[in-house]
Amino acid sequence: MATETPAAAEQDIVALASATPDLSTLVSAVQAAELVETLQGEGPFTVFAPTNDAFAAVGQATLDELLAPEARISSLPAILTYHIVPPVSSPRPISRTVRRSRP
């Protein structure tokens, strides 16, 4: 017997990503970076979620480095949070946010 799931608007980012097979690598990275609680927190969030294909394009060796325990503390959270911006209503604030956050 199937059970009903909450409407997408009531789910957090992690639940939505976990329910999307093409975001499984992102979910693993979010878990490795210990960002689950953050993304389950009070939002809303705008997330530019890299798909499994995007992670594959980086290459397995680089992905393994990013998921290594050493990177979980420093570089992985920084890379993932780069893909999260406060909610906006038009493209202009997004472009300003991206320009300000570039290294």
Total of domains in the chain: 1
Domain with 53 in it: what CATH number?
A: 2.30.180.10
Range of the domain at 73: 10-101
Please report, in tens digits, the pLDDT of each residue of the chain (103 residues total). Answer: 333 344 555 688 899 999 999 999 999 999 988 889 988 888 777 888 899 999 999 899 988 888 888 777 778 888 888 888 776 656 666 666 666 666 5
Distance of CA 66 to CAs 38, 73, 77, 103, Å? 19, 10, 9, 18
Pair of tokens at residue 85: 């911006």
47: helix, strand or coil: strand
Global pTM? 0.71
